[in-house]
Structure 1
């Protein structure tokens, strides 16, 4: 079973807490000066970032004031850390910060303020990127389960990579050259392996591993990873070393990743497939629920009953026949993957005709419907168009106010062109239908992504007092 949350923050907390424990163990009692770093992390994540997510200028000003206060308090803490460090404790390359050993830090107790402000600013930039990625993954819809699996494994591996050099830095186990090669080779290898495992192998091998497209992407991933991380070698950078490194990744790491993928690819494909199947099931169920709701059925039946009392059976019989055709469509045609386009168009006509029965001639309502019949052999997924029309009648029509709906549908060169515009009115208080607005549209959007990937263009939104929908659908997909 896959998790439903991104664990990025949890892994980061483990790294920060573990680093604090190692510093305390390394420096014994004086190492208590490392606690401000841990407290600053909690302050930023639990107070500043959590509060800043709420809208409002006062909230943002309060968050900025907290950052300034935290940086001012953390400045002496940074100096104290450098004071209690021993002379063997230096960062590789001699970082120009007061982190690490400093012989006389207390001569300027608040000299670390600018350093702390710089570090906090850098961390906040990282945290904003983190929160945006987490939000995107947790609201990714169809592929959520797969994206969660990937992001959780990538972040766990990343923080694991960072934990090793930090432990070596605190304990002094490794020399400076170790960090150059560590941050060059290991992250590059991880980037190549993860890219192959979660991107190239599952989704880019449709033409086979010998295809030119796949080989070019594989070489590009290897070259870019090696080239970018090779800069960590610094003065140890040599062309022959980088070339051997590239061949090592291509001839050893990629084959080993392929073997691992072959043994475990069922899990990757299963999660991806399950997430899509689940999304399809939810979208289909939602589409069924959004059709002919009880409010409309009661209104239609009441209108038919009123006509039966007034003018006999002719109009009533026609209305009942239309209603029966729609119910038959829902029970039979709607269960198929594809249906004739003409059936979908007949359903739309019946729906709009029945909706007209709700309104008398005195109602200020204008409905313009222009549906051009398609060819007999053209097929379409059922119930793709009706949610747009339902949405127009639910939220664009008021009997007490002038209202209008314009629907234009045509088929040209195997493509369906659907345009719908309707008037908008202010929401009625305690109207249950208003809370359902948008559900049908999201269902259609998800179903289009599943059934017509790359074969549709959908745009909808509000312009003034008008709601517009434009759909171009390639029926040949």
Structure 2
């Protein structure tokens, strides 16, 4: 009700369908066929009119509300709207006039009830247009007020319609709409806010108190009514109402609320998975760095020309391990912590081959060697190290990168401190700066909402990152 407008077209359709169905059924059930067989022609015609006139009004509503107006909304052809509207108007007027006069309801050719019904229908559309212009703005995010106002307007206009057409339906219909339905709605709202929500929050004593307060309120109302009219019937009706409320309305509404909560939970779960999948896809795209791969291959090629194949083989092996990781394990939901650590070590070693013998570059990598069991989402550690090599290394200026990786029982801790060398705006890497880190932030929020700590600080000279993650046990 808050995020968007309610489906009013469906609400209006179902409300009017149920209302006319009740009117027609009660009119049929009210017919005394023994009496009809002996009654005058005008009395018989009146009973028929009480069925045909509501059916005609409902048919006119159906064609206008469900066919003609929606078609105009789609194609915008005013001529069709006017022609079909006039056609529905004249056909319904002829039918209603025939039965109105034949049933001796009056001899006025312009039936007051019919034209007041048309006026109410047009008034509703005018009011909706005004609401849309006044209440709904382009940037509105909360539709609660709009939805409530439209529901109240619809309810009031239908109430006026029932009063204007009172001679064509039983008093029971008006009682149901004016008293019973609002009472049921009030009970359902009361139950949701003061019983169901309190019970769901674990405040069961308060929920019970409000439950019995409601029952006591209804009991008091009917006791007072019974005393005032001095009739035991009111008391019996009150007992019946309380029984229906306790055993039908409240349990049915609780089932509806529970189903709605479950539906919302499923939507939230799907939304999280979609966001996670989007973040993973974006992250994978940001990690496919052709510049790094070409640089690494060029480095390996140069190494092969300069010395024996031992170093070259080592570099190719590490690059192969990284490629296999990216192609296979990176698509899994969780991987062993040791595999993530191994990928990080391979990445640093491969970068070290590229910058070996550069005197103005200092690389420090401290890590614990003990194998640790545990599962973690892939590619959460490497982006920070990759970012350090991407933005912290210059072959012309003094540069440093300090990495500390501690894999403990149940948690992993990464600290990265590096110098900063800003990229030129013409550099292909300039626009990509920060994309990988932002994806990691999003993934951490989705995957480890209360189980991670990420601290990032920077100034003109250096960049610092601290990341701690509580990961899952291997056998959990």
Q: What TM-score, normalized by structure 2, do the two folds share?
A: 0.53
* C-alpha deviation, 1:350, in angstroms: 0.9
Which of 438, 448, 471 does residue 467 from structure 2 map onto? 471
Partner residue, 2:301: 305
Partner residue, 2:336: 340
For structure 2, which runs of at least 5 residues remain unmatched after alignment? 9-118, 121-126, 164-181, 222-243
* C-alpha deviation, 1:294, in angstroms: 1.0
* C-alpha deviation, 1:274, in angstroms: 2.0
Provide the secondary structure at the position in 2 that maps to 1:361. Answer: coil
* Equivalent-residue separation in structure 1 for 2:387 and 2:191 (angstroms): 47
Distance 1:399 1:339, change over 3 A: same
* Equivalent-residue separation in structure 2 for 1:194 and 1:435 (angstroms): 50
Partner residue, 1:415: 411
Give yes or no for contact 1:161–1:187 (8 Å, CA) kept in 2: no
Partner residue, 1:455: 451
* C-alpha deviation, 1:184, in angstroms: 13
* C-alpha deviation, 1:302, in angstroms: 0.6
Partner residue, 1:351: 347
Partner residue, 1:275: 271
* Equivalent-residue separation in structure 1 for 2:185 and 2:325 (angstroms): 59
Partner residue, 2:367: 371
* C-alpha deviation, 1:217, in angstroms: 4.6
Give yes or no for contact 1:424–1:465 (8 Å, CA) kept in 2: yes
* Equivalent-residue separation in structure 2 for 1:157 and 1:221 (angstroms): 28
Is 1:393 the equivalent of 2:393? no
* C-alpha deviation, 1:428, in angstroms: 1.5
Aligned ranges 1:54-65 → 2 under 5 Å: none
Number of matched residues? 338
Give yes or no for contact 2:296–2:350 (8 Å, CA) kept in 1: yes
Aligned ranges 1:124-135 → 2 under 5 Å: none
Is 1:384 the equivalent of 2:370? no
Which of 202, 209, 219 does residue 216 from structure 1 map onto? 202
* Equivalent-residue separation in structure 2 for 1:217 and 1:193 (angstroms): 14
Give yes or no for contact 1:222–1:249 (8 Å, CA) kept in 2: no
* Equivalent-residue separation in structure 2 for 1:160 and 1:389 (angstroms): 56
Distance 1:156 1:411, change over 3 A: farther
* Equivalent-residue separation in structure 1 for 2:424 and 2:332 (angstroms): 37
Which of 438, 444, 447 does residue 442 from structure 1 map onto? 438
* Equivalent-residue separation in structure 1 for 2:319 and 2:405 (angstroms): 22
* Equivalent-residue separation in structure 2 for 1:316 and 1:382 (angstroms): 27
Greater CA drift, 394-403 or 298-307: 394-403
* Equivalent-residue separation in structure 1 for 2:352 and 2:204 (angstroms): 59
Distance 1:39 1:254, change over 3 A: closer
Write the deviation string for residues 248-290 of structure 1: whole angstroms up to 9, x where unpaired. 9998776333322455666434422321221232233233323
* C-alpha deviation, 1:381, in angstroms: 2.1
Give yes or no for contact 1:329–1:347 (8 Å, CA) kept in 2: yes
* Equivalent-residue separation in structure 1 for 2:395 and 2:149 (angstroms): 61
Provide the secondary structure at the position in 2 that maps to 1:273. Answer: helix
Is 1:319 the equivalent of 2:312? no
Partner residue, 2:75: none
Which of 395, 403, 422 does residue 399 from structure 2 map onto? 403
Greater CA radius of gyration, 1 or 2? 2
Give yes or no for contact 1:424–1:467 (8 Å, CA) kept in 2: yes
* Equivalent-residue separation in structure 2 for 1:301 and 1:329 (angstroms): 18
Q: What TM-score, normalized by structure 1, do the two folds share?
A: 0.52
Give yes or no for contact 2:405–2:415 (8 Å, CA) kept in 1: yes
Give yes or no for contact 2:376–2:472 (8 Å, CA) kept in 1: no
* C-alpha deviation, 1:324, in angstroms: 1.3
Partner residue, 2:176: none
* C-alpha deviation, 1:348, in angstroms: 0.5
